[in-house]
């Protein structure tokens, strides 16, 4: 099939590349000329395992093309995905300016019936706005061209996005047109063999599904973090509690790991957008408000433990920080707990020596660029030289089984603050470490 994907960010580039990999002819469109030229050269703007190789393979095969010309892409495509960003506005709402700008361009440039697919994460009612915007442009042209607007939310996880897109556990389609449903079934048939995994519904329900999924996962994280805080107060061990409840098949182990809060491009933005949408309709989201509040406080838990151990004034102290990205297998630092932790301890006078396998550039150039108290290191162990303590923030694979003798040798003091509860407390205690976890009271 012939497909245009407008937006070459995380969702657009992965979606376009995976569709091309299954034999479709795909145009990826972006207004940023430098990004398009770099993509043609094989320079990928994001880190995602397996993506670079797949882009190069399909680009060289001629199935994947990159352009700034949306008219060319629309003329040669029957399906057009809108996959641009929907950043969080000051009031928590999803900013739809880029989505509607694409819709306007579609209305101006389309020359045959087009299936317009909302792939961006958008609030309920966006498909209607997209339809109205396209129709207004067609009316301006005095054109009788027809089109369909379809909701097709993405469920990609950073770090496994290529796998998620190529082998999705479900495809959600929102449409009020049987022909549109048929076209989307044909497009996704190579990716979804199980008919039950192709779920068709009305547009509003499809738009709501994405927000509900992310809000549910965020709720599980904040719930478990709240339980961890209770455990610490009453003297229980949240790691043992997690095992006790996770073995119940009704609960399971997914998203019940205590930690220093969630971040990224999805959970914070989508929870806030759902809160704002609900408020616009006169409903107060008491649970989601609590989810957000718990998460904000959770990013301070490690900071509070450091202050409790060393005092409010950290002047003259240095901390080795392992991990900057909000999760492993990505360079994404949007709303990452590391930002809060590093800024809070440096605000109190500390220096930070940080290492992350992929996110250093993001930290240097964007998220921590104004923090002169951060030094970036080439390896995890080099962060520990002359450091007063180590802080684990992101659970990268290479951090899971470190050489604790090496850590003890390099640190001034054998002290670890673990924001992801990765290590064996009994072993570290036997080795003479002071080990601080989430949800475990240290006697």
Please check the confidence at residue 406 and state whether its pLDDT lies above 90: yes
Q: Tell me: pLDDT of 322 over 90.
A: yes
pLDDT at 187: 97
Rounded CA gap, 9 and 2, in Å?
Answer: 20
Q: What per-residue confidence (pLDDT) applies to 89?
A: 87
The pLDDT value recorded for residue 195 is 81
Given a cut of 80, whether residue 190 has pLDDT beyond it is yes
Give the CB-side neighbour count of residue 29, counting CA atoms within 13 A.
Answer: 23
Please tell me the pTM assigned to this model: 0.93
83, 117 contact by CB (below 8 A)? no
Sheet holding 198-201, edge to edge: 64-67, 25-29, 2-6, 79-82, 114-118, 147-151, 171-174, 198-201
Question: Is the distance from CB of 113 to CB of 147 less than 8 angstroms?
Answer: yes
In the predicted structure, residue 90 carries a pLDDT above the cut 90: no
Give the helix ranges, DSSP H, for 382-423.
Answer: 404-410
Give the pLDDT mean for 143-164: 96
Mean pLDDT of the chain: 96
Q: What local confidence, expressed as pLDDT, does residue 138 receive?
A: 98
Residues labelled catalytic: 266
Q: With 0-12 CB in 10 A as exposed, 13-18 as middle and 19+ as buried, what is 200?
A: middle
CA distance 240 to 128: 48
Q: How far apart are CA 297 and CA 282, in angstroms?
A: 27
Task: For residue 128, give the 3-state DSSP assignment.
Answer: helix
Query: Alpha helix (H) ranges present in 175-202?
Result: 178-188
């Amino acid at each position: 099939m012939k497909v245009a994907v407008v937006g070459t960010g995380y969702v657009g580039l992965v979606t376009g590349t995976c569709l091309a990999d299954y034999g479709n002819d795909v145009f990826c469109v972006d207004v940023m000329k430098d990004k398009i030229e770099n993509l043609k050269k094989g320079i990928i703007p994001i880190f995602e395992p397996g993506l670079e190789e797949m882009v190069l393979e399909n680009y060289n095969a001629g199935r994947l093309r990159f352009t700034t010309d949306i008219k060319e892409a629309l003329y040669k495509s029957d399906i057009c995905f809108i996959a641009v960003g929907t950043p969080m506005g000051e009031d928590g709402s999803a900013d739809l300016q880029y989505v509607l700008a694409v819709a306007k361009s579609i209305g101006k440039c389309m020359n045959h019936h087009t299936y317009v697919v909302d792939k961006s994460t958008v609030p309920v009612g966006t498909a209607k706005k997209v339809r109205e915007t396209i129709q207004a442009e067609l009316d301006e042209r005095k054109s009788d061209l027809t089109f369909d607007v379809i909701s097709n939310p993405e469920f990609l996880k950073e770090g496994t996005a290529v796998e998620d897109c190529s082998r999705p556990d479900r495809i959600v389609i929102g449409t009020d047109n049987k022909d549109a449903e048929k076209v989307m079934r044909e497009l996704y048939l190579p990716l979804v063999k199980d008919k039950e995994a192709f779920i068709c519904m009305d547009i509003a329900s499809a738009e709501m599904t994405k927000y509900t999924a992310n809000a549910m996962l965020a709720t599980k994280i904040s719930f478990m973090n709240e339980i961890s805080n209770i455990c610490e107060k009453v003297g229980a061990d949240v790691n043992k509690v997690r095992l006790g409840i996770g073995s119940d098949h009704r609960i399971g182990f997914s998203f019940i790991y205590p930690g220093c809060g969630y971040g990224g491009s999805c959970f914070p933005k989508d929870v806030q957008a759902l809160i704002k949408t609900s408020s616009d309709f006169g409903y107060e989201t008491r649970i989601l408000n609590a989810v957000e509040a718990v998460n904000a406080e959770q990013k301070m838990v490690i900071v509070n433990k450091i202050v409790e151990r060393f005092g409010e004034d950290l002047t003259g102290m240095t901390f080795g920080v392992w991990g900057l990205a909000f999760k492993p297998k990505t360079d994404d630092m949007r709303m990452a707990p590391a930002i809060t932790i590093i800024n809070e301890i440096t605000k109190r006078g500390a220096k930070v020596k940080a290492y992350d396998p992929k996110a250093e550039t993001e930290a240097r150039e964007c998220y921590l660029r104004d923090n002169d108290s951060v030094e970036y290191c080439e390896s995890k162990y080099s962060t520990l030289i002359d450091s007063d303590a180590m802080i684990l923030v992101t659970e990268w694979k290479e951090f899971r089984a470190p050489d604790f003798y090496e850590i003890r040798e390099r640190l001034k003091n054998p002290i670890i603050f673990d924001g992801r509860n990765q290590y064996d407390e009994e072993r570290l205690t036997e080795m003479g470490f002071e080990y601080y976890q989430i949800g475990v009271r240290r006697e």
